[in-house]
Structure 1
């Protein structure tokens, strides 16, 4: 899979590769679903765990972060992001598949209690999203 690459790798630095799946969710009024986390504003989604498909990871992550079930409408594309956190000595290459989704039914409260589901306008979401590859995915749906 080839897609845009965000961030700059450091020469000689090894990176832990993390496969991820994220949801771009747009309501009829034009607002987008994002999660407020201790690190900042992100799209719903996250890492693919051992043995999971991208789709299963997406469903699990959306539920854990919002308390809702999701339905995939279309696969938007693939993008990667280099994450350089020198302070914590963490260097990751996040390889992500992005899906346009809708939330279906509320199952319960979010499992991740430090995540809060927010609905933001396109401009506000685009401005506040922490990761450039999340902003790119939002642009795919605008």
Structure 2
């Protein structure tokens, strides 16, 4: 289709015959002094991620980004700007749900640490950007980190 915008998929293709629920989410690259502010989700096992998560029904993307970054890192952010999006098809054990995750990626400035992460099982961590590219748990996050935080 001429002019159609295709959102890149990372990870495994959808399984034939399986039903997936669309889960829009919003995530942030948070660079400072050559490092990225990340979150490590400890359950079911350590998984280093870009801070972010699902956009709640009726919630706008930017308030969701601020909320999710704060919940997962304890930090406030400023000046978010959209970089792009990707899709991935995954099982989300915490929701017992097969999801088509539509991941909107933003770049923002970490502003101030307000306290510890509010989200249970999450720890905020700083990592050199070049290391984050290899340690992030999913290929979509790694792609955006490599492209925008060399």
Settle same-fold status: TM greater than 0.5.
yes
Distance 1:97 1:37 in 2: 19
Q: Are 2:128 and 1:124 aligned? A: no
Q: Are 2:50 and 1:31 aligned? A: no
Q: What is the Cα deviation at residue 89 of structure 1?
A: 6.4
Q: Are 2:25 and 1:20 aligned? A: yes
Q: What TM-score, normalized to structure 2?
A: 0.84
**Partner of 1:6: helix, strand, or coil?**
coil
Give the total of aligned pairs. Answer: 140
Q: What TM-score, normalized to structure 1?
A: 0.89
Q: What is the Cα deviation at residue 112 of structure 1?
A: 1.3
Q: What is the Cα deviation at residue 135 of structure 1?
A: 0.9
Distance 2:59 2:92 in 1: 27
Q: Which residue of 2 is the match for residue 101 of structure 1?
A: 108
Write the deviation string for residues 100-137 of structure 1: whole angstroms up to 9, x where unpaired. 01111222221114111111122321111111111122
Gaps of 5+ in 1: none
Aligned residues: CA RMSD = 2.0
Write the deviation string for residues 25-50 of structure 1: whole angstroms up to 9, x where unpaired. 1112x111111112411100000001
Distance 1:57 1:33 in 2: 17
Q: What is the Cα deviation at residue 84 of structure 1?
A: 4.2
Q: Which residue of 2 is the match for residue 52 of structure 1?
A: 59
Structure 1 residues 110 and 85 mapped into 2: Cα distance closer, same or farther (>3 Å)? Answer: closer
Q: What is the Cα deviation at residue 85 of structure 1?
A: 6.6
Contact 1:22 1:43 in 2 (8 A): yes
